[in-house]
Amino acid sequence: MFELEAVSVLRQGREVVRRISLAVPSPGVLALVGPGGAGKSSLLAALANTGACEIQYSGNFRLDGESIKELHGGHVIHVPQHLALNPEERIHGRLMDRYRVT
């Protein structure tokens, strides 16, 4: 199960997500849908803990009861949105390009 408990996200000091809580049973699918500026990407950046200094969050993210802060490697990644995505490109190729070691 994937859970968010009272998660708030600040981006550059401005609160963009306020105390959201939800639970998605396993296996499950979650879609974040909303207008631009609603906080979708900020929530995902906080979840992936990308280290972006402009993102701060409070609350808890849990995967199967374990805090995501305790998870290591490969469980959560963040693929930022780009308006120029090629609709012919498959997501696997996109992920591999982003995380390829050279």
pLDDT score recorded for residue 28 = 80
Which among 7, 91, 6 has a CA at the least distance from the CA of 56?
Answer: 7
- Beta strands 55-63 and 2-11 are antiparallel
Domain segments of the chain as ranges: 2-69+79-98
- With a cut of 70, which residues of the chain have pLDDT below it? 50-53, 71-102
Contact 16, 39 (CB under 8 A): yes
pTM more than 0.85? no
Contact between 88 and 49 (Cβ < 8 Å)? no
- Overall fold of domain 2-69+79-98: Rossmann fold (3.40.50)
